[in-house]
Amino acid sequence: DQQVKQNSPSLSVQEGRISILNCDYTNSMFDYFLWYKKYPAEGPTFLISISSIKDKNEDGRFTVFLNKSAKHLSLHIVPSQPGDSAVYFCAASARSGNTPLVFGKGTRLSVIA
Amino acid sequence: GAVVSQHPSWVICKSGTSVKIECRSLDFQATTMFWYRQFPKQSLMLMATSNEGSKATYEQGVEKDKFLINHASLTLSTLTVTSAHPEDSSFYICSARGPRTGSDSPLHFGNGTRLTVT
């Protein structure tokens, strides 16, 4: 049973437009959420995070929105750039000590010039 | 920023041999490291939690006698795949929580090791 779901395996967006990547979770104990970016044959790179006390966190072109009632979060990238093309993983954890992360299956974003 | 180094980045070995993968936190101490495995087009699956100075905690379905984990120091954890078989071929990634304490600190990942067992 997947606790973190990314239902879109891939997404194509034109350069300059907004990319919206979605993530749903089922475990109500999760209260800390992260997005990672991964290039082929490399480890994931931390992008942005949000805790459950917030509904939005912004860092440059990247904004993460959290809707706790819907157990849904999304990553917005605007404007999208070709270098953003990668696999994006949504991850979640419960704030109960040094707990590992639970990952979604990832969404492959392709930004077309 | 916090850096996690993983070595080797890729390895090819024959069936029946053992392979050791090293994971080092380069500029911070990590009492806990996590080992993940990723199959093509799949999520990162947690294999085990490596604790410095004590036994690792394995996830359900992961054979502890096959995937030996040693966390001998605050900056080094090793994963040894013993008697490797072709089905062990995968992408193994280690991670450690960054210098900030508590679960708010994001995990930092190594670049992973691509293991191919022939």
Q: What is the pLDDT of residue A97?
A: 54
Q: How many CA atoms lie within 13 A of A34 on its CB side?
A: 22
* Cα–Cα nearest to B108, from A42, A51, A29: A42
**Model pLDDT for residues A16-44, shown as the tens digit of each residue:** 999 999 999 999 999 999 999 998 878 88
Q: What is the pLDDT of residue B96?
A: 87
Closest B-chain CA to A3: B43
- The one-character DSSP state at A82 is G
Q: What is the pLDDT of residue B2?
A: 58
Q: Which residues of B touch A (CB under 8 A)?
A: 4, 6, 9-10, 31-32, 34, 36, 41-46, 49, 91, 93, 95, 97, 102-104, 106-112, 114
**Model pLDDT for residues A69-101, shown as the tens digit of each residue:** 999 999 999 999 999 999 999 999 886 555 678
Q: Which residue shows structure tokens 């929105």?
A: A65
Spell out the per-residue pLDDT of chain B, length 118, in tens: 558 999 999 999 999 999 999 999 988 888 889 999 988 777 889 999 998 888 899 999 999 999 999 998 889 999 999 999 999 999 999 998 766 555 556 788 898 999 999 9
- The one-character DSSP state at B66 is T
What percentage of chain A exceeds 90 in pLDDT?
A: 79
Report the pLDDT averaged over residues A60-70.
97
A103–B44 CB contact, under 8 Å: yes
Q: What is the pLDDT of residue A24?
A: 98
Residues in Cβ contact with B56 at an 8 Å cutoff, skipping those fewer than 6 apart: B48, B49, B50, B64, B69, B71
B103–A97 CB contact, under 8 Å: yes
Pick the more confident residue, A54 or B41.
A54
A64 — pLDDT class (breaks 50, 70, 90)? very high
Q: How far apart are CA B105 and CA A19, in angstroms?
A: 26
- Of B103, B110, B112, nearest to A98 by CB-CB distance is B103
- Of A42, A94, A96, nearest to B112 by CB-CB distance is A42
In the beta sheet, which residues pair with residue B46?
B36
Quote the minimal CA–CA distance from A109 to chain B in Å. Answer: 13
State the first-to-last Cα distance of chain B, in angstroms, to the nearest integer: 37
Quote the minimal CA–CA distance from A104 to chain B in Å. Answer: 6
- Of A44, A93, A106, nearest to B103 by CB-CB distance is A93
